[in-house]
Chains A and B, each alone.
Chain A
């Protein structure tokens, strides 16, 4: 059964069509990568899935339930976790408090369970030493890790990662990819928007290509990367 299914999802901001009849499904336990040029509507697609932006037409089913009109907090409680392209930590709270907010309100955990789970997540994401630092004082890598940690704290069935490897050094990126692989290995479904293709392709099973709010292609990474349309549109290679 798909964990997430979008049917004919459309959205316009005035004359600008940011999503045009988007349909795809993510199977339970699958990792799907999303690529596309800047302005293709990738982050908007995440906003539509999380409920930050309401869609004009179409429907979204999550974990067997229609969530098309559900509020973001309901979708989060149902198991939809998300990171932001530009990290948005609660900057005045400590790292641990950031996680506790997500665990306490984004999942059904009790305070004691939340504390235990958040401590484990700190270890998994390499943030133990920064647990009591205010989130506003973190470096870019640490903020990206906090984004991931906070999304994990909501105990997601499906994790939406928005350019989480962007701006990192190769070493930092490799470490982050290992963490994401371990999360995926636990059975968490993932949709990952990323421009760092080697990182993306080392995790995902399928790739989806977006351009001008339309799905140009979806399939195995090798097939997609070999596709003429994708090479022209995304990689800018004349074929």
Chain B
């Protein structure tokens, strides 16, 4: 057994989990909204990419590029017309509404696409690999990880270097006062969810090309996303990447010891971090 290879594969898998989690972290960080339909929205984006690839014969990356503005608009509308109405002092309404949305999405996808397992064909990229010294790295896992880093860098740039980012942080700090300074919180929240859906689409591209998916796998992706966000510290994007890596490495190491332990090992790593650092590795105050 090559432990270096196992750990490297885990790190790269962590990139995928970070992509699952980044959108969730962004939305929670700005509006304290826990979106229980986040995993299902990833699956929706994966099906959208699948339709574009199989229906129009597009390359998966081009299909994702086409899907990005569609998902941004869908996220914007979802937040502006539905989720904004659930926000307030009570945390229960957004949980209930997004839980309901999760069920609606799963059943709508089952109606439209059946329960069959699907995969987005990525051609030769699926098996392409690069030799890196003693280990070999798959091109798709590497692209996934690099995309996760790129997404976090871009999100941090938006957050700390743009007027929109300042409005995100100001609204997150004090929604009422932000309104008095000319910021329209409902539009700011809608834009945030739109951006989260762009990240969701990138995550869906790699989910769909790397593994099989069906309409019901969303909640499991949501759990990985939650774990990555909580390990990292709520609202910290680099922490989320580290959280994804910890789960990814735990899973590949667990699988290397015993294939049945893969999922369990990831959850155990999460529990251990939760016991040692209940607020996560990088709580938001330090971000």
Interface residues, chain A, CB within 8 Å of chain B?
A: 50, 52, 71-73, 76-77, 82, 84, 88, 90-93, 97-98, 100-102, 104-107, 111, 114, 150, 154
B163 contacts across to A, CB distance below 8 A? 100-101, 104-105, 111, 114
A84 contacts across to B, CB distance below 8 A? 177
Given known contacts A90-B173, A92-B173, A101 and B180 CB-to-CB distance under 8 angstroms: no
Q: Flag whether B169 is at the interface (Cβ < 8 A).
A: yes
A111 contacts across to B, CB distance below 8 A? 163
Does A90 contact B169, Cβ atoms closer than 8 Å? yes
Does B180 contact A72, Cβ atoms closer than 8 Å? yes
B181 contacts across to A, CB distance below 8 A? 73, 76, 101-102, 105-106, 150, 154
Given known contacts A100-B163, A104-B163, A92 and B180 CB-to-CB distance under 8 angstroms: no
Q: Which residue in A93, A97, A101, A107 is a CB contact (below 8 Å) of B183?
A: A101
A98 contacts across to B, CB distance below 8 A? 170
**Could you show 17 A-B contacts with beta carbons less than 8 Å apart?**
A71-B179, A73-B179, A73-B180, A82-B180, A90-B169, A90-B174, A91-B173, A92-B169, A92-B173, A93-B166, A97-B166, A104-B167, A105-B184, A114-B163, A150-B181, A154-B181, A154-B182
CB distance from B58 to the nearest CB of A (A): 36
Q: Flag whether B178 is at the interface (Cβ < 8 A).
A: yes
Chain B interface, >50% SS class:
helix
Interface residues, chain B, CB within 8 Å of chain A?
A: 163, 166-167, 169-170, 173-174, 176-184
Q: Which residue in A52, A90, A92 is a CB contact (below 8 Å) of B178?
A: A90
Report the Cα distance A92→B169, complex, angstroms.
Answer: 8
Given known contacts A84-B177, A88-B174, A90-B174, A76 and B166 CB-to-CB distance under 8 angstroms: no
Report the Cα distance A154→B178, complex, angstroms.
Answer: 12
Does B177 contact A90, Cβ atoms closer than 8 Å? yes
Does A73 contact B183, Cβ atoms closer than 8 Å? yes
Does B179 contact A72, Cβ atoms closer than 8 Å? yes
CB distance from A134 to the nearest CB of B (A): 11
CB distance from B31 to the nearest CB of A (A): 15
Does B176 contact A106, Cβ atoms closer than 8 Å? no
B170 contacts across to A, CB distance below 8 A? 90, 93, 97-98, 101
A114 contacts across to B, CB distance below 8 A? 163
Does A76 contact B180, Cβ atoms closer than 8 Å? yes
Given known contacts A104-B163, A111-B163, A93 and B182 CB-to-CB distance under 8 angstroms: no
Given known contacts A93-B169, A105-B167, A77 and B182 CB-to-CB distance under 8 angstroms: yes
Report the Cα distance A100→B169, complex, angstroms.
Answer: 12
B182 contacts across to A, CB distance below 8 A? 73, 76-77, 102, 104-107, 154
CB distance from A115 to the nearest CB of B (A): 10
Which residue from chain B places its CB closest to the CB of A102 in the assembled complex?
B181
